[in-house]
Structure 1
Amino acid sequence: MAPMKTAIFLLVHCALQGAVCRDVTLPPGPLFRVAGFPLSLPCSVSGFEGSRTQEFEWFLYRDNAGGRQMGVVSTRDKGFPYAPFQSRVRNGEVRVERDSGDKVRLVMQRLRAEDQGKYECYTPSTDSTYQGNYSAKISVKVIPDTLQISYTRSLTGQPVPEGAELTLTCSANIQSQQLTHLSITFGKRGGVESSSGGVAGEEVSTTREIISIDKLLGVVPGHSYKKSYDDGEIRLEKRNGEGGQGVYVMSMRAVKPEDSGAYFCEASQWIRDPDRSWQKIAQRTLDIGNLTVQQLAETLSVASSPRGEVTLQVGSPLILTCEVLGLPPEVNSGLLVQWMRRGSVSGDEVSSGGVEVEVARMSPDGIVSWGDDISRADGGSMEKVSEGKFSLKLFSARPSDSGVYRCVVSVYAGRRNPGLSTPATITQKSDGVTVNLKTKDILISAVAQIPHGPLLKRGSTVTVLCNATVRTSGSAQAQIQWFRRPMPGPVLTESESSLLEPADVEQPTLMAALMYSGVAKIYINSSEISVDRLSAVTYRLRIHSAAMEDQGVYSCHAEAWGQDPHGGWYNTGAKAESNAVTVYLYARAADLLLIPLVVGVSSALFICILIISTVTCCFMSRLAKQRARK
């Protein structure tokens, strides 16, 4: 209270005198600091005259010295320190650090119990008149070091598999008569990253804070680990240990290769100074040990069987097995298993080209889903045979099942049920298994024709027949599609046809289809169309009330569908394209009379208008002459 009254008095005095007064300022006290740890006292001076760089001298009044003054350190006199401080000043343990010309701080690197007392910051006068305060004092209390820290289990440095859970435990407590708080930080040293300010490509060792419980008991993740903390990958909790000791447990759910390094636990003691600022007064760091993470890529492999090439008859069961090897048994990992197929069938041979498509997959939670051919859900299965072993079964193989099969496994190390957005730790493919399916010899032919009859006119019913014959030893059906192309235009020269863009060549229009099952499908809405089967080999397309846009060049496309031993139908791949027939619609008699009728009516109207105009003109001319005679 006394220093505050003195400062107020000096301020009022200087204001009344209208003069500049020197003012030396120290933070309010008392300050409590821990023996063995640093002390930093800032001191500043203002309202002075003379040089901008002021000199500072520090004195100590020990509590047990009866008020005797002891010189500590000075910015201008190397012989200023008293005997107890001479060696400490000489080796830099006690020093003055200058922040600016009028601001310095007294730094004592390792505080001792005998350093307790009142510290005075004094500034020699550079003023023309002696006004203001030239020194300020602050009381410093040195309290004993009671900060303790320990760990339960150290890291041995033995490799830990990628995805394993890591748990580190650190115990810490303080026994102080003062109200102090404790913070705990888990961190890691090691790992390398590019140096942003050094030579290009240079790598530097890093020290990272992983997660902390701060002085206000809040959990704070390190900058590099914030996303992992938000995702629940890293946790830190406080438990009560024996004798009131705090036990702090950090858990990392699934370690990654970049988590390798030297781990430590750091405990800090905090106190709130009279100016309401928090100060760290003690700190201890304990090395827990080194962690080495073994990458899953070094041990993981995926194998499929049977190996090489498999040749089956159509309708036979296809069984493929996928085995995942090298998974650490102590790591609880989720697996996404997919069967992929690439290739196309040409006769009995499989080509290696084409787009790779998904046949089936099993998610980490065991749910099976099928790819583009969802009909396979009733004709196949995908199962988990044992731990790390999966099978794909197609009960009745079809020609479209030919191709090169691969098993693709995505491993989510340490995450049994990963989220949809969780990236896989690693994805590997097996070697390919080539599946060939032998089909029975099938011959198919298609012939299009228009039945003989009266000339086709607008409004008539147009009939296009397709005669399709399938020759095979087993049960087979034909599936027919009718196409229409526009009427051919003028014949172009070779140079003119080369100038045509691909988009200029009109593609055939699919009109209708009669499926192998007998189901009719109509694909256009402009005309009334029907399809049916007249006999075992004859299929009919009818266009009722044909319009002029129904003219064109028609053809039919036939595909052979076979039946497997289980009664299922499949596309054999045998197909045939028919010849083209032209549908031309002639005009009706009523249409032929329309042109003369229009021409006659138009001529009559023209002659009538001409006669009326002539008569009217003559009459008006005669009337005008009669009026002129009168």
Structure 2
Amino acid sequence: MRTAMASMKTLFPCLLWGLQCVLCRDVFLPPGTLYRVAGFPLSLPCAVSGYDGPRTQDFEWFLIRDDAEGRQMGVVSTRDEGFPYAPFQARVKSGEVRVERDSGDKVRLVIQRLRADDQGKYECYTPSTDTTYQGNYSTTVPVKVIPDTLQISFSRSLSGQPVPEGAELTLTCSAGIQSEQLTHLSVTFGKRGEAGEASESGVGVREVISIDKLLAVVPGPAYRKRYEDGEITLEKRNGEAGVDVYVMKMRAVRPPDTGAYFCEASQWIRDPDRSWQKIAQRTLDIGNLTVQRLAESLSITSSPKGEVTLQVGSPLILTCEVLGLPSEVSSGLLVQWTKKGSESGGVAGSGGVEVEVARMSPNGVVSWGDDLSRASGGSMEKVAEGRYSLKLFSARPLDSGVYRCVVSVYAGERNPGVSTPATLTQRSEGVTVNLKSKDVLVAAVAHLPRGPLLKRGSTITLICNATVTTTGPAQAQVQWLRWPIPERGGKKIPSPAFDVTLPDPSVQKRPILVAALMYDGVAKIYTNGSEVSVERLSAGSYRLRVHAATMEDQGVYVCHAQAFGQDPHGGWYNTGAKAESNAVTVYLYARAADLVLIPLVIGVSSSLFVGIVIIATVTCCFMKRLARQRAIK
């Protein structure tokens, strides 16, 4: 029992002391030894915890030089301006040696330019503000000052002369260190732009690309996409005497690349706490780069100039010339010919949408626009450097319009990828092409041949006589359209394909395209109901037959005819001439079997009506007679 009591008496003071030590003052410095380079800054953080008193603590720094035999030297204090010893007084007064406060209990000693005699053991001391004096009030860290061996140079500076957009830029920088300590080297190429240019590093400064301390290539945030696309590279080449060569290349400079370029080399060391610290840095200006915009020199011209009038069937030749491309820049060109004109082949440039006629890719592949038939009836060629021609062997009326040459330049990209944006796209002045076709007259007349009354299930036969009057070979293309039977009081409507107005009364519904016989003799059937056939009976006579007609097949039929001419090369083209026939109304009568039901239905209805009338009359008379007899009684 006594032994237990004795143990408790011994344990209680120990626990009390341990609890007090939890709240003891403690001062922290980074673990050492720290190696720093002469002539470059030293920054030593110091923090205090577990203290009593105000949140803002004071700090005092001492230096024990290696040759001072343990004697302390006051460096700087946060509370006493007269604290520094003589070797530090002028440096503290000038601000070269100072204390920067991060917070109330965290500061850092900053020596702007280390000297060789600054080597030694640095002590951070915190004057007591505690009610009782306990804990650690100071701590030390050794600092070794190593000589500056960081070298940096360049072989060729930028001349400042304008460089065309898309030209290749190569910058070379040599850098090296010779240190007994294990240190690493990083090299960065950067640019200072206009004063108002925002960046990640400060006003007007951009990091282009660097090789970091671990030999990884790291592009600047603004250049990451160009680096991933291979437009910007950085290569390290082994040099002599420990000085390596770093080569940065821009495959194609852009206007935003204008600015003052520099090369920056940094020496790094890994402290005992495993953190990397930059201990030396040098920056070397390489020179100014001015990028001349391609838009200032590029021009696109097309010929012939102004307006061209040709006969249908004649060849059409247009030329596009690209001027102002810098000879020292290897650029890919995408050349396109576009046309804007009326959709029906009317007056050139009178409206319509702009469509692509043909294009030649940067690698020389030619493709045609919506009209694929032009692939065999035309060509697009590169006739000389910067000159491209478009040829249509036999022009058609639909080729009328305003032609433009559209050139997209990929500056510095001889074979750009599909997703690569063009550096610049320019269009030439328009060339108006008018095509004079031969005089063409088209007439169409439709009629219903005489025959028995058409009934449900009969064959509807319609004849369309279409004639084309012109010089040279010509063919008619015939279409049959059907409207429902017009209702009385309906409004007139035009056909969506032709300006046709139905006779009074008309309907408000859209017509149905029944069938067509193309100019080349190919028949096309568009209805999904009854069986339909169309054929040419003679040179100008066309027949439409609807077999086993249903009630849906009755309606107002119209024949539309279009004229197609043949050019000297044997190709057929739409002349634009067309005609609309008269309207033919087709009614379907009931069949004989249907007519038998009519008298039966009428007879039954009549018998019922007569019976009801007789019964009503007899009943009415009987009731009146009965009423008179009761009145007499």
Length-normalised TM-score, structure 2: 0.88
Partner of 2:93: 90
Q: 1:109 Cα shift? A: 0.3
Q: Secondary structure at the match of 1:258?
A: helix
- Is the CA contact 1:41–1:106 (under 8 Å) kept in the aligned structure 2? yes
Separation in structure 2 between the aligned mates of residue 245 and residue 194 of structure 1, nearest angstrom: 34
5 Å-filtered alignment, 1:393-412, equals: 393-412=391-410
Change (3 A) 1:18 1:70: closer
Q: Secondary structure at the match of 2:348?
A: strand
5 Å-filtered alignment, 1:138-217, equals: 138-191=141-194, 205-217=203-215
Separation in structure 2 between the aligned mates of residue 512 and residue 124 of structure 1, nearest angstrom: 106
5 Å-filtered alignment, 1:7-406, equals: 14-15=17-18, 20-191=23-194, 205-344=203-342, 349-406=347-404
Change (3 A) 1:332 1:19: closer
Q: 1:215 Cα shift? A: 0.8
Separation in structure 2 between the aligned mates of residue 135 and residue 537 of structure 1, nearest angstrom: 116
Change (3 A) 1:403 1:160: same
Length-normalised TM-score, structure 1: 0.88
Separation in structure 1 between the aligned mates of residue 562 and residue 26 of structure 2, nearest angstrom: 104
- Candidates 554, 562, 565, aligned match of 1:562: 565
5 Å-filtered alignment, 1:529-608, equals: 529-597=532-600
Cα deviation, 1:205-241, whole Å, max 9, x if unaligned, reads 5211111111111111111111111222211121112
Counterpart amino acid of residue 101 in structure 1:
G
- Is the CA contact 1:348–1:438 (under 8 Å) kept in the aligned structure 2? no
Separation in structure 2 between the aligned mates of residue 351 and residue 20 of structure 1, nearest angstrom: 91
Q: Secondary structure at the match of 1:587?
A: coil
Q: Secondary structure at the match of 2:472?
A: coil
Cα deviation, 1:343-362, whole Å, max 9, x if unaligned, reads 12889742432111111111
Separation in structure 1 between the aligned mates of residue 83 and residue 16 of structure 2, nearest angstrom: 33
Cα deviation, 1:216-273, whole Å, max 9, x if unaligned, reads 1111111111111122221112111223322111111111111111111111111010
Counterpart amino acid of residue 261 in structure 1:
G
Deviates more, 1:579-588 or 1:231-240: 231-240
Counterpart amino acid of residue 93 in structure 2:
R
Separation in structure 1 between the aligned mates of residue 246 and residue 607 of structure 2, nearest angstrom: 112
Separation in structure 1 between the aligned mates of residue 197 and residue 438 of structure 2, nearest angstrom: 64
- Is the CA contact 1:14–1:132 (under 8 Å) kept in the aligned structure 2? no
Q: Secondary structure at the match of 1:344?
A: coil
Cα deviation, 1:454-486, whole Å, max 9, x if unaligned, reads 111111111111111111121111111111111
Q: 1:52 Cα shift? A: 2.4
Separation in structure 2 between the aligned mates of residue 12 and residue 318 of structure 1, nearest angstrom: 106
- CA RMSD in angstroms, aligned pairs only: 2.3
Cα deviation, 1:105-148, whole Å, max 9, x if unaligned, reads 11100000010011111122223332222211110000000001
Q: 1:191 Cα shift? A: 3.4
Counterpart amino acid of residue 568 in structure 1:
G
Q: Secondary structure at the match of 2:159?
A: strand
Cα deviation, 1:373-427, whole Å, max 9, x if unaligned, reads 1000010011111111111000111111111100011111111121222211111
Change (3 A) 1:205 1:70: closer
Change (3 A) 1:72 1:438: same
- Is the CA contact 2:483–2:557 (under 8 Å) kept in the aligned structure 1? yes
Change (3 A) 1:577 1:13: same
Separation in structure 1 between the aligned mates of residue 608 and residue 232 of structure 2, nearest angstrom: 97
- Is the CA contact 2:178–2:242 (under 8 Å) kept in the aligned structure 1? no
Extract unaligned runs of 5+ from structure 1.
1-10, 197-203, 495-503, 607-630
- Is the CA contact 2:198–2:204 (under 8 Å) kept in the aligned structure 1? no
Q: Secondary structure at the match of 1:121?
A: strand
Change (3 A) 1:16 1:370: closer
5 Å-filtered alignment, 1:397-476, equals: 397-476=395-474
Q: 1:493 Cα shift? A: 8.5
Change (3 A) 1:152 1:539: same
Q: Secondary structure at the match of 2:194?
A: strand
- Is the CA contact 2:343–2:352 (under 8 Å) kept in the aligned structure 1? no
- Is the CA contact 2:162–2:292 (under 8 Å) kept in the aligned structure 1? yes
- Is the CA contact 1:183–1:217 (under 8 Å) kept in the aligned structure 2? yes
Counterpart amino acid of residue 158 in structure 2:
L
Partner of 2:499: none
- Is the CA contact 1:188–1:207 (under 8 Å) kept in the aligned structure 2? yes
Partner of 2:5: none
Q: 1:18 Cα shift? A: 5.6
Separation in structure 1 between the aligned mates of residue 346 and residue 129 of structure 2, nearest angstrom: 106
Cα deviation, 1:27-81, whole Å, max 9, x if unaligned, reads 1111000000000111122222223222211111111222222111111111111
Separation in structure 2 between the aligned mates of residue 409 and residue 18 of structure 1, nearest angstrom: 80
- Is the CA contact 2:397–2:435 (under 8 Å) kept in the aligned structure 1? yes
Counterpart amino acid of residue 44 in structure 1:
A
Cα deviation, 1:155-204, whole Å, max 9, x if unaligned, reads 111111111111111111000000001111111111365779xxxxxxx9
Q: Secondary structure at the match of 1:131?
A: coil
Change (3 A) 1:261 1:440: same
- Is the CA contact 1:348–1:436 (under 8 Å) kept in the aligned structure 2? no
State the identity as a percent: 77
Deviates more, 1:587-596 or 1:30-39: 587-596
Change (3 A) 1:347 1:103: closer
Deviates more, 1:504-513 or 1:377-386: 504-513
Cα deviation, 1:463-522, whole Å, max 9, x if unaligned, reads 11111111112111111111111110121589xxxxxxxxx9311111111111111111
Partner of 2:612: none
Q: Secondary structure at the match of 1:335?
A: strand
Separation in structure 1 between the aligned mates of residue 570 and residue 47 of structure 2, nearest angstrom: 98
Separation in structure 2 between the aligned mates of residue 311 and residue 349 of structure 1, nearest angstrom: 11
Aligned residues: 581
- Is the CA contact 2:344–2:398 (under 8 Å) kept in the aligned structure 1? no
- Is the CA contact 1:14–1:20 (under 8 Å) kept in the aligned structure 2? no
Cα deviation, 1:596-629, whole Å, max 9, x if unaligned, reads 44677899999xxxxxxxxxxxxxxxxxxxxxxx
Separation in structure 1 between the aligned mates of residue 533 and residue 308 of structure 2, nearest angstrom: 44
Separation in structure 2 between the aligned mates of residue 518 and residue 36 of structure 1, nearest angstrom: 95
Deviates more, 1:447-456 or 1:18-27: 18-27
Separation in structure 2 between the aligned mates of residue 550 and residue 17 of structure 1, nearest angstrom: 108
Separation in structure 2 between the aligned mates of residue 601 and residue 329 of structure 1, nearest angstrom: 102
Separation in structure 2 between the aligned mates of residue 205 and residue 73 of structure 1, nearest angstrom: 34
Separation in structure 2 between the aligned mates of residue 357 and residue 450 of structure 1, nearest angstrom: 43
